[in-house]
Amino acid sequence: MNITNQAKCVIKKRFVRLAHKSTLNPTIKHHLAKSEPGELIEARGFVKSVRKSKNIGFLDLADGTTSEDLKVVFQTKEQPKLRVGQTVAVNGEWAESKGKGQTRELRCNPQEPQHSYRIIGDVEEDYPLQKKSTSMQFLRTLPALKHRTSTIASFYRLRSFLETQMIDFFNINDFTKVTPPIITSSDCEGAGETFKIAESANFFEKTTYLTVSTQLHIEALAMALNRVWTLTPCFRAENSNTTRHLCEFWMLEAEISHVEDLEQLLNFTEDMIKYSTRKLIDLKKEYLRGVYLEEELVQSRWAAITKQEKWPRMTYTDAIEYLNKLRKDSEEKLEFGDSLLLEHEKYLAKDGPIFITDYPAEMKPFYMLKSAKFDPEKPTVACYDLLFPDFGELAGGSLREHNYEELVESMGKHGMDVEEMDWYTTLRKNGTIPHGGFGMGWERFVTYLSGHDNVKDVIPFPRAPGLCRA
């Protein structure tokens, strides 16, 4: 059968249209951005609010894909008997809106043959998420339903957006995303705050734990792939029931080969955070809607990240001296080796993000390299904590000890079983590379940028001491 060129073009165009047509039902985000006035559409979502007047009714629909609601106008005297929380499908005409604060609306007149509505999922009489102000404390008692609120949903969309920006940033810088294990036989931090896996000794022939950090594993991967990163769940059996701690949390970790100067790590960490924050500022209209706190607070936090050309650096020793100068003569002074408390961190970061570097060796894990200006009387390691205003520590990293003898000596001082860690120490005997890396608490990052104050609300199902409701 002969087919003319014209017919081939028609077939090709139809095929292209079919190839680009989604097999899924359009979302509310799609309708708000792409549907044209005069078009007959179907909108699906759950009812956020219902309003009625004499001859017309109004419905706000949401489906979680955007912070904006889709406005439905029922053009009929007999209003549908719909309730907040129900999942519905509404068919009608997409039209220019006459109302304030919106440009488009879905007009539905059930008397028109192509207009209709139907209830997909009903709700109970005591459905708890009504159109009124609701506290976060109350929402935490609703582990399955809280995600439908505008505020909680906005946290998750922000979280998703930031992850895509991290993917872009690391791709630009020639990193490979890796998937290290969650089950491990090594306590990376050496703090002992691990969740032991029951019966693992029989199954794996050794005791295993849920990982507190994937660092040791991605060090091995960085030796092969040069630069690696991961965003992975981590677990710490730390009995800290605060607004900044979780037992199960996500950590962004990166490991970089051929890094010999701590300043390289500081600059890279700063570049990474500024990159994603600037992308957020570019789309602030979408990500400022539905946030929990005042818009001014959110934007001030974003500005704190981007306003300085370069974040300041201060050594731990200088930080101790600086804090001691602020104390009264009658107050006890901080000594070398004392931990910086949250109140200290907040004060140091009161004017914006700041790196505190070169902490005492005795305060840090076994794998850290000695500081460039190492003092045997006050030994420090080449590491840093990144402190944020009103929030404290956000990220931390270090150069890693890449000399086998030095590493084994450090492990001995920390009371570690060198033989058990042979899989890790062998990296220093087979083509060792100077390297360094860092970890950033993902929930803390999202919480700070959202203008919120509690990490338990930016993760769908939080795990903390006494908290495992679902």
Query: Which residue's entry shows tokens 């609120």?
Result: 149
Cβ–Cβ under 8 Å, residues 245 and 464: yes
pLDDT band per the 50, 70, 90 thresholds, residue 448: very high
pLDDT band per the 50, 70, 90 thresholds, residue 5: low
**pLDDT score of 405 more than 70:** yes
The rounded distance, in Å, linking the Cα atoms of 4 and 92 is 40
Going by the DSSP 8-state scheme, the letter that residue 54 receives in this structure is S
Going by the DSSP 8-state scheme, the letter that residue 117 receives in this structure is E
pLDDT value of residue 105: 96
Specify the pTM: 0.91
Chain-wide mean pLDDT for the chain?
91
What number of other Cβ atoms are within 10 A of residue 355's Cβ? 24
| Residue at 139: amino acid letter | L
Q: Going from the N-terminus, what domains does the chain have, and what CATH number goes with each? A: 28-131 (2.40.50.140), 146-457 (3.30.930.10)
Q: Read off the pLDDT of each residue in 398-409 and give the average, rounded to a whole number.
A: 97
pLDDT value of residue 18: 42
pLDDT band per the 50, 70, 90 thresholds, residue 411: very high
pLDDT band per the 50, 70, 90 thresholds, residue 30: very high
pLDDT value of residue 240: 86
Q: In whole angstroms, what separates CA 347 from the centre of its chain?
A: 25
Q: Read off the pLDDT of each residue in 215-225 and give the average, rounded to a whole number.
A: 97
The Cβ-side half-sphere exposure at 340, using a 13 Å CA radius, reads 27
pLDDT value of residue 21: 63
Q: Which two tokens stand for residue 31?
A: 């309708």
pLDDT band per the 50, 70, 90 thresholds, residue 6: low
Beta pairing class for 176-177 and 227-235: parallel
Distances (CA, A) of 315 to 276, 372, 390, 395, 433: 27, 12, 20, 16, 26
Going by the DSSP 8-state scheme, the letter that residue 451 receives in this structure is T
Among 269, 375, 380, CA closest to 315 = 380
Query: Which residue's entry shows tokens 């079983």?
Result: 417
User: What crossing angle do the helices spanning 295-306 and 262-282 adopt, rounded to 10°?
Assistant: 140
The rounded distance, in Å, linking the Cα atoms of 365 and 383 is 10
DSSP track, 16-32: HHHHHS-SSPPPHHHHH
290-342 pLDDT, tens digit per residue, is 554 578 888 899 999 999 999 999 999 999 999 999 988 878 999 999 999 99
What number of other Cβ atoms are within 10 A of residue 54's Cβ? 7
**Overall size of the chain counted in residues:** 470
Beta pairing class for 209-210 and 195-196: antiparallel
**pLDDT score of 17 more than 60:** no
Among 305, 308, 254, 253, CA closest to 280 = 305
pLDDT value of residue 288: 66
Cβ–Cβ under 8 Å, residues 385 and 393: yes
For 124, residues 6+ apart whose C-beta sits below 8 A from its C-beta are none
The answer for 451, left when phi > 0, alpha when psi is -120 to 50, beta otherwise, is left
DSSP track, 361-424: GGGS-TTBPBPTT--TTS-BBSEEEEEETTTEEEEEEEEBP--HHHHHHHHHHTT--TTTTHHH
226-245 pLDDT, tens digit per residue, is 999 999 999 999 888 899 99
Q: Compute and round to an integer the Cα radius of gyration of the chain.
A: 28
62-117 pLDDT, tens digit per residue, is 999 998 999 999 998 888 899 999 999 999 999 999 877 678 999 999 999 999 99
pLDDT value of residue 192: 62
Higher pLDDT, 20 or 214: 214
239-283 pLDDT, tens digit per residue, is 888 999 999 999 999 999 999 999 999 999 999 999 999 999 988
Element (H, E) at 166: helix 150-172
Cβ–Cβ under 8 Å, residues 336 and 357: no
148-191 pLDDT, tens digit per residue, is 998 999 999 999 999 999 999 999 999 999 999 999 988 766 55
The rounded distance, in Å, linking the Cα atoms of 46 and 83 is 9
Among 308, 312, 289, CA closest to 149 = 289
The rounded distance, in Å, linking the Cα atoms of 387 and 356 is 8
Distances (CA, A) of 357 to 14, 108, 273, 314, 322: 62, 62, 18, 6, 14
pLDDT value of residue 10: 46
350-397 pLDDT, tens digit per residue, is 999 999 999 999 999 999 999 999 999 999 999 999 999 988 999 999
pLDDT value of residue 195: 93
Cβ–Cβ under 8 Å, residues 81 and 87: no
Cβ–Cβ under 8 Å, residues 270 and 424: no
Distances (CA, A) of 321 to 76, 315, 428: 74, 10, 37
